Amino acid sequence: MDFTFDYFKIDHEEPGKALDSSSSVHEVLKKIEGLNRQERIRNIYRVPSRIHDLLLKDEIWYGSFMKIRMDSENLPPKSKLTGETENLNFDDDEGLGELVGFLYDPRHRILVIQRSRYGIGPGGMKYYLERMGKFSFHMEPIIQQDALERLKQKDVIRRFELKLVRPEGKIRKEIEGKSTHKALDLLDDFDSYYVDIKFGFDNTKKNKGKVLNKQAIVSLANRFLGGDEEIVEKFRVYGNEGDVEKYNFVDLIKDRISEVRTAEVSKTNRMTFKRMNELLLSAYNSRRQEIILQYFQEV
């Protein structure tokens, strides 16, 4: 079975503060470590979620996020080869737990997340940590070196293009709760297969010097990574209109760094927290030097 991992860089709102300040992901994880699992629950996009497992080892955090699906009416039934089916029935305080593994290096503020179609995504993870710590921080996908250089040249962003498509066989109800983006409503309003949107400014005098909100664009990219990724066909950032003519754009979805690890999983060989941690560390170590040199110029 293949497991894909994505990488993110964390920037705090108050970068001058020490690692153990009250406004750092590291400190929030320490706080969560001292809570029991019930105390860790927060509703993320109306779905109960929590950090389920958490371990600090060799100055690296390892953890798993669990999204608890309580909507049993929307869950697929159990089915036998002979044809019989049976609904999954849970008590009022039970649901289907979807686990996603993560690794966090507090020294370099690098977050590695297991990509999951059904589990909590990077945007939900960020929202959870901000709620638990009662602070906010920036989180952006780590992209390939050449794309990073292009993005650095686009501190002034004047154009952004986004194209969303309706996955085959999907209906709005199945997407809702993962995305919540207004653009998806348009797909249903017009019974359309795709919506293609451009944000930006023309070169008229009245728009001179105006720029788009780069952090809002990065946050949107984080929301789409993972479970919502299949609905994104285009996610392009341009510095100006000249970039459009030169096809000089950065795609914060397709240009990101990712790693794939393969592990044998069966009824007798489940994916445990320990095994997932080994995959996460292997994925991080394979890109660690490259990422740190990109962002910190030291190893």
Torsion sign over Cα 165, 170, 173, 176 = negative
**Residue 246: what pLDDT?**
54
Percent of the chain scoring above 70 in pLDDT: 79
Which residue did the predictor score with more confidence, 107 or 255? 107
Of the ranges 196-200, 249-253, 273-277, which is most confident? 273-277
Phi then psi dihedrals of residue 192, to 5 deg: -105, 155
Task: Round the average pLDDT of the chain to a whole number and report it.
Answer: 82
- Please state the rounded mean pLDDT for residues 23-41: 95
**Residue 206: what pLDDT?**
87
Among 61-70, 75-84, 236-245, where is mean pLDDT lowest?
Answer: 236-245
> Would the pTM count as exceeding 0.75?
no
Compute how many other C-beta atoms are within 10 angstroms of the C-beta atom of residue 24.
22
Of the pLDDT bands very low, low, confident and very high (cuts 50, 70, 90), residue 92 is confident
On the CB side of 264, CA atoms within 13 Å amount to: 2
Of the pLDDT bands very low, low, confident and very high (cuts 50, 70, 90), residue 243 is low
> Helices (DSSP H) in the chain: which residue ranges?
25-33, 122-133, 145-152, 172-175, 182-189, 214-224, 241-246, 273-295
Residue range 104-149, pLDDT digits in tens: 999 999 999 999 878 888 888 999 999 999 888 888 888 887 776 7
Residue range 36-75, pLDDT digits in tens: 999 999 998 889 999 999 999 999 999 999 999 887 767 7
Which residue did the predictor score with more confidence, 177 or 214? 214
**Residue 19: what pLDDT?**
46
Does residue 190 register a pLDDT over 80? no
Among 88-97, 99-108, 181-190, where is mean pLDDT lowest?
Answer: 181-190
**Residue 154: what pLDDT?**
66
Does residue 186 register a pLDDT over 50? yes
Q: Tell me which residue of 141, 156, 170 sits closest to 257, measured CA to CA.
A: 141
Does residue 179 register a pLDDT over 50? no
Among 146-160, 162-176, 193-207, 235-249, where is mean pLDDT lowest?
Answer: 162-176
Does residue 205 register a pLDDT over 90? no
Q: How far apart are CA 227 and CA 130, in angstroms?
A: 20
